[in-house]
Structure 1
């Protein structure tokens, strides 16, 4: 199907042009590439810097899927309030194209709500999806649909999600929709809006409805706690859902617990979460290669842990003598907090060449919008 949608198909725009003249050709361009819609997939490995990605090359038993990218850049993470950002300000920059203060969700530094790329594309008749391992009201996914002054306003964020019209939702956070201080059951609102809702398992989507899979009270378990392939499975189900509905889509997928591994200074957790993210990435790359009119962008909001990959030593229990093991490495943590490292950006598909170089984190949204408008 050839799908065509103008950026601003509004009668008032035409009237203004007649009265005053219009010189902004950018607004009149179509969201098409070769007369087809451009799908956008944004994958965010929360807390994922170059050292975290490097673990895929030292601890994995296969070639890392990051090796499949030719278009690679870096972004600078500082926000309006701090050189060391958080997930809220970082994701808000990705979603709105504007830097803001730490802890802000979908608002600028004056707490004024800003339209997100997800909301904009909803207005262009795109399907939308959000997948996270944490509660779906957590900072990263929330920044794409909510507008609050502080990331901990989970009850308000959850209520805004029920009105956001996101077509495919998968993650945790049951308690913010059901066990609320105001005693309102927001799951009833989902059902009243025609959602296929499952609060216990990631089941097959209903292709004729919007779908919400909110399957744990808080976040899902980590990999070392027994989580299976939720991230990959949810992503594949979302892609299948979008394809069956034969419409363009925007989807954000968050590998949330790479960040948590850094905060916990837990090598096993970090390595296993990065491996899970890389496996999901491989499935998405397969989709992009078979659907060339898709833009895939992979990045992180910040690095967590000040991680480095260094020498591994065996220590003699009796003498305490350390001996370097030449065919092994170890993950070292500088802290349990975020760092100010430059963050890599990997891009593939239509418009991916825009993501080369070094730029500010909010430029990622601008580059995605430019690709959508085929500038």
Structure 2
């Protein structure tokens, strides 16, 4: 049975009110995770989650979470954030300006969660349905003043400590204006390179998977199950490290469907993202030491589920803008430490909570 947005809102309010005390704690004495999976639905607000629930055949994986909170998404420069500032908040715990990739408001580099954890011997991975040098994944490994400097962003990857990455963006590695061959540089840094399809087996090397010149195809254009499969592959690879891992996987094109005001595009990407939640949750349930966090950098499109022609039994997905909105976005958490993610807080607090739980 499908749940109405009103019921979902009630659940959110209950989770928010019950989690405030936990969120305000500076210290956490419960069980802590060894691994964290951060799943980012780019542009995914509450109405987008509601759409996934309505249009999913079967029980949506969003309903498997026991803790739900709300994140305030504004950037340091604007009330309405972009993906770069939003992801930089997740990766560094600092508010920055729209367009910032791993830098503060003065364009100075800030050490990211990937860099900090890598120094401790923890494995790290990034997966996206966009180019891997797009704003969200880029903010976890690069330090650049503008999100549009794709070649410069890509140049950080060979010397980064990322152990596994998968997405699009091949042209920024092998068709560069400066003539650098970053594929060769990745190989020299012990990466195994895949540019035609997801591998079925992996060796002990670091993994670079670039399956499109720029962004990956849309779901409506037959991308298939790249995101859930790449996430599963990353988990298989990263979980070999006994010290633990951090994985960020992004449903990048939820945002693009919102910008296009294309409901079919948006909903198909949401349902693909929901399948990826299943991969993460199933792994975490079996593993027992993994925290799964699902959230968004912002909402896109001012999306809502209106009535169709005034008929309260028919939904009409509609948009109010071609850009982003300033609404709060949901945060779902399951696993050791999940109770910290109830409440209402700034997007930077997601970083703070992750670092607290990992004792780093």
| TM-score of the two chains, using structure 1 as the length reference | 0.86
1:111 to 95, 100, 107: 107
Q: CA deviation at 1:193?
A: 1.1
TM alignment of 1:3-42, pairs within 5 A: 38-42=34-38
Q: How many angstroms does 1:247 deviate by?
A: 4.1
d(CA) in 2 for partners of 1:252, 1:60: 24
- Within 5 A, what are the aligned runs for 1:224-235? 224-235=220-231
8 Å CA contact 2:71–2:330 kept in 1: the answer is: yes
Q: State the alpha-carbon separation in 2 of the partners of residues 289 and 112 from structure 1.
A: 39
Report the RMSD for the aligned CA atoms in angstroms: 1.8
Asked if the contact 1:88–1:105 (Cα under 8 Å) also holds between the matched residues in 2, the reply is: yes
Q: CA deviation at 1:37?
A: 6.3
Answering whether residue 338 of structure 2 is matched by residue 342 of structure 1, we say no
Tell me what 1:190 maps to. Answer: 186
SS class of match (1:161): coil
Q: Please say if 1:148 is aligned against 2:144.
A: yes
1:364 matched to 2:350: yes
Distance 1:93 1:54 in 2: 25
Match of residue 238 from structure 1: 234
**Structure ranking higher on relative contact order (CA contacts 8 Å, 6+ apart):** 2
Q: Distance in 1 between matches of 2:139 and 2:315?
A: 36
- Per the TM alignment, residue 237 of structure 1 is displaced from its structure 2 partner at its CA by 0.7
Higher Cα Rg: structure 1 or 2?
1
Deviations 1:63-99 (A, max 9, x none): 1111111111001111110001000000000000000
Matches of residues 244-255 of structure 1 in structure 2 within 5 Å?
244-255=240-251
| Residue among 150, 169, 184 paired with 1:173 | 169
Normalised by the length of structure 2, the TM-score is: 0.90
Comparing 199-208 and 217-226, the one that deviates more: 199-208
Could you list the runs of 5+ residues in structure 2 that have no partner in the other structure?
1-26
Counterparts of 1:288 and 1:268, CA distance in 2: 30
8 A contact 1:58–1:329 mirrored in 2: no
Q: Which residue of 1 aligns with 2:252?
A: 256
Please report how far the alpha carbon of residue 325 of structure 1 lies from its aligned counterpart in structure 2 after TM superposition.
Answer: 4.8
Shift of 1:225: 1.1
Give the drift of 1:240.
Answer: 1.1
**Structure 2 equivalent of residue 286 of structure 1:** 282
Question: Which consecutive unaligned segments of at least 5 residues does structure 1 have?
Answer: 1-28, 314-323
Give the CA deviation at 1:360. 0.5
Question: Contact 2:303 / 2:320 at 8 angstroms: preserved in 1?
Answer: yes
